[in-house]
Structure 1
Amino acid sequence: MHTNESNAKGNIICGSCTYDENPKTAKHCKRCGKPLVIASVPSTQRMTSSTLFKSEITLSVIVLLLFSLGGYFLWHQVQSSATLSNEKVSANTSSDIQNYTSMKEVPNLPQGTFNFGGSLIFASLMAQGTHKAINQTHPNFILRYTEPVDNQPGTGKGIEMLLKGQLSFALSGRPLEDAEYKQAIERGFTLDQVAVAIDGLGCYTHPDISIPGLSVTQLQEIYMGKITNWKEVGGPDLRIVPFSINVKTTALLKTLLGSKVGSVSPKVRSSRDYTVLVRDVGTTPGAIGIGAAMLVVTQHTVRPVALAAGNTNKYVPAMTENHKLNMAAFRDSSYPITRYLYVIIRRDGRADEQAGVGYANLLLSKEGQQFVEKAGLVPIR
């Protein structure tokens, strides 16, 4: 297992992929999903083979003491916990994710029809012909988007369906959560996540709302119900009506609010998908919406809002003056809210696992990343 260090900002540096923007409370890397482990020793004392050997000796002594005291039951519990931990680590081992030039080169794609679902933002990839290209190169690998029975699609719902065996793989707008890793282990398999693209969180309002921009803090307070009138942020004296996609299942609010997601205002209205969301915001006086930044660029019925980090007024627009996505700002992180998009793989040693691995490799191939860029997302390779 790779150990991780913290940098001058207090963020955890992933020992596997070197991503250095993980908050100090994170348990898994926000990019690659591997567990983050900081040794509880001074920064000058890193884990070495000798310290590992000493740990093993200490563990052996504990074992003998436990048995001598009749503590078998306690030891069994410790072993069970260790097994779960090891399984969680193995769930994030992605040695079968490789670099390919073309989709045709991607090997080991299973034959048959495979259900997938989850984050709605991936629909932009399908709209650009990604799945058509996959079908042309691998005609026996058939992909079928599957709606949830409650008609409330989204990241959370997709992962839930994957855990229940209703999908072969899921698409996600956020990293996996510890509870989801645990549920998978309890059901006899593990979950893995593979980042395939970067997306910016866009913000837009009803066309009659004209403001220079919003800080991330202000946007958060709007969705937590702390700011309720546009005059509080330099706009007209008008009630704010916040919208989001499927409030209970979307990853958007978790991306915006982080650990404060439990404080989302009950007045936030739900829209079924991005098309409905834009329509709702464009036709509701005082409305505001959040969604994938690339969807804002093509819309003329809503007004894009530039965002500023923290509580500053250094606003960065999601699109440039010529109505193109501000890709440069997404790549260099000067745009304040970006997120990784993931393929969630069910590691069960079966065809579903092959399907998830194959789909991730298809999107990460050079050809697949070209489709990612055409869809208005930022390639990661």
Structure 2
Amino acid sequence: MSQKNETTVLLLALLLTLGLVGGVFLWLANTSGIRLFNARNNLSQPIKQAYSESFAQFPEVPSGLFSYGGSTTWAPIRKEVDTAIQTVFPRFQLRYTDPTIGAPGSGSGIKMLLNNQLAFSQSSRSIKDEEYQKAQQRGFTLKEIPVAIDGIAIAVNPNLNIPGLTVAQLQDIYTGKITNWQQLSGPNLPITPYSRRLEEGGTVEFFNENVLDGEKFGVNVQFIPTTTEALKEVAKNPGGLYYASAPEVVGQCSVKPLPLGRTSDKLVPPHKEPFILLQECPQRRNQLNAAVFQNGEYPITRRLFVIVKQNGQSSDQQAGETYANLLLTEQGQDLISKTGFVRIR
């Protein structure tokens, strides 16, 4: 055989070997979730993520009593989803714990997690830089796992007749620049904006950072300790206004959710159309329009997180990761959807 033929044969053999090795590697990556570099978006992403269909199919859960706490926005999920988890896994005991001092919320839950008072926490906002830093100082890290999508809805008195608000107008109301509904083509009526205090929850922190852009609340804002009390005030006050998690507002019988938009020519209602008149409630209630939250058409959306303390596969870390993964099963996502929040997968 000539040297030229030998070279050709060797080259073909090399190419065939590389092709086989590459094929085996890709097969292994697809079946095991190996992360590959994605040059298109410069992110390392899992090729495949396997999710269980139901809680009962979940491979393994830790046993013991695990305290958790945090966001008040999560209350419907705790009531519906956590009860179902306990039914399937009675030895995976979950106990919601309020803070010793102050009101429960995303911030207080993360603080309790940092102080080793909780196994994991629930949050309606992302972890702050200073919270990451405190965790590192104490020898562990914090990880946020998104499990659902939520939006901020605006509640007004049912008798207020305006088409909706832009995010900029909402900002101007809560910073005191707009004080009368007449400035927004409404009636000559003073606006009374209600809010919980900044330190009392992740929803308020999210609103302050993403709607007010860090500006201070105006002197016209009245602070109310709970969403339940604030909605009662809006129902009594013709000029009242309040913001809260969309599932807490959309199905109410005593207040009306306002459409919101980035611009005044595209106001998006958080509820399904047509709007069900409040006189028909509670026999019929308005339902969340999940599609506009999923596709980003609604202007104020956020994710809900399970906050996990990573410190070397401790029982607390296992409990937090297990809880998040149960919420990401098909059954968990279905139950989240039933509580009024939007599934993330």
User: What is the TM-score of this pair, normalised by structure 1?
Assistant: 0.72
Q: Secondary structure at the match of 2:198?
A: coil
Q: Please give the per-residue CA displacement for 1:307-338, whole angstroms capped at 9, x wherever unaligned.
A: 011x4331100102152211111111111111
Tell me the distance in 2 between the aligned counterparts of 1:137 and 1:214. 45
Match of 1:308 among 252, 261, 266: 261
1:370 partnered with 2:322: no
Distance 1:14 1:135, change over 3 A: farther
Gaps of 5+ in 1: 7-12, 19-94
Distance 1:200 1:17, change over 3 A: farther
Whether the aligned pair in 2 keeps the contact of 1:253 and 1:261 (CA below 8 Å) is no
Deviation at 1:237, TM superposition (A): 2.0
Deviation at 1:16, TM superposition (A): 4.2
Deviation at 1:364, TM superposition (A): 0.4
Distance 1:2 1:208, change over 3 A: farther
Deviation at 1:196, TM superposition (A): 0.2
Q: For residue 304 of structure 2, what is the aligned residue in structure 1?
A: 341
Q: For residue 4 of structure 2, what is the aligned residue in structure 1?
A: none
Q: For residue 58 of structure 2, what is the aligned residue in structure 1?
A: 106
Match of 1:357 among 321, 328, 332: 321
1:284 partnered with 2:237: yes
Counting aligned pairs with the same residue, the percent is 39
Distance 1:241 1:110, change over 3 A: same
Whether the aligned pair in 2 keeps the contact of 1:114 and 1:352 (CA below 8 Å) is yes
Tell me the distance in 2 between the aligned counterparts of 1:307 and 1:328. 15
Structure with the greater alpha carbon radius of gyration: 2
Whether the aligned pair in 2 keeps the contact of 1:230 and 1:240 (CA below 8 Å) is yes
Task: Report the AA paired with residue 345 of structure 1.
Answer: V
Distance 1:17 1:315, change over 3 A: farther
Tell me the distance in 1 between the aligned counterparts of 2:175 and 2:169. 10
Q: For residue 239 of structure 1, what is the aligned residue in structure 2?
A: 190
Number of equivalent positions: 296
Deviation at 1:295, TM superposition (A): 2.0
Whether the aligned pair in 2 keeps the contact of 1:106 and 1:358 (CA below 8 Å) is no
Q: Please give the per-residue CA displacement for 1:132-170, whole angstroms capped at 9, x wherever unaligned.
A: 211111111111111122341111121111111121111
- The equivalences for 1:212-231 within 5 A come to 212-231=163-182
Whether the aligned pair in 2 keeps the contact of 1:108 and 1:354 (CA below 8 Å) is no
Tell me the distance in 1 between the aligned counterparts of 2:119 and 2:329. 20
Tell me the distance in 2 between the aligned counterparts of 1:274 and 1:377. 17
User: What is the TM-score of this pair, normalised by structure 2?
Assistant: 0.79
Gaps of 5+ in 2: 1-34, 277-285
Match of 2:123 among 157, 172, 177: 172
Tell me the distance in 1 between the aligned counterparts of 2:103 and 2:39. 40
Q: Secondary structure at the match of 1:221?
A: helix
- The equivalences for 1:122-201 within 5 A come to 122-127=74-79, 129-201=80-152
Q: For residue 78 of structure 1, what is the aligned residue in structure 2?
A: none
Q: Please give the per-residue CA displacement for 1:93-119, whole angstroms capped at 9, x wherever unaligned.
A: xx9x96221112334422221111111
Whether the aligned pair in 1 keeps the contact of 2:153 and 2:245 (CA below 8 Å) is yes
Deviation at 1:239, TM superposition (A): 2.0
Tell me the distance in 1 between the aligned counterparts of 2:234 and 2:338. 26
Whether the aligned pair in 1 keeps the contact of 2:157 and 2:236 (CA below 8 Å) is yes
Deviation at 1:262, TM superposition (A): 4.3
